[in-house]
Amino acid sequence: MSTSFANDLVESVTICNGSGNIGDATAIDFRGFRYGYIYMPSSTSVGTITWYSSEDLDGTYDVCHTGSGNITSTVAASRSVPMPTNLVGARFLKAVGDAAGTCKLSLQS
């Protein structure tokens, strides 16, 4: 029995500043993926990413949250961190930071 996994590297994801326009953030197609890793460049000043989701690529993106608060990732320059596992099932995502920046994502089913 063999298992096949989908793996995708998103080379450049624009993280918009929380006080900016969420439309500036890259829409990430997360359909079919369950896990991911965030790779932050050495030049970033982003320290926190808050995740937003939509059922449609061009739809309205709402903040992802659990019963206890927004779903966030704590990141830093030259660090790699896993994406929150409670994003499983989201269709499209956007990353909103405490500062504007970019990152790379590795997505896996």
The CATH number that applies at residue 97 is 2.60.120
Domain count, the chain: 1
Q: Is residue 75 part of a domain?
A: yes
Q: Is residue 1 part of a domain?
A: no
Q: Is residue 30 part of a domain?
A: yes
Q: Is residue 47 part of a domain?
A: yes
Residue 39: per-residue pLDDT: 96
What backbone phi and psi angles, to 5 degrees, belong to 17?
-70, 140
Question: pTM here?
Answer: 0.91
58 closest CA partner among 95, 94, 12:
94
Q: Which domain holds residue 11?
A: 7-108
Residue 105: per-residue pLDDT: 94
16 closest CA partner among 107, 108, 94, 105:
94
Q: Is residue 2 part of a domain?
A: no
Number of Cβ within 10 Å of residue 94's Cβ equals 24
Question: Splitting the chain (109 residues) into consecutive groups of 10 residues, what average pLDDT does each group show?
Answer: 64 88 93 94 97 96 94 97 96 96 94
Residue 72: per-residue pLDDT: 97
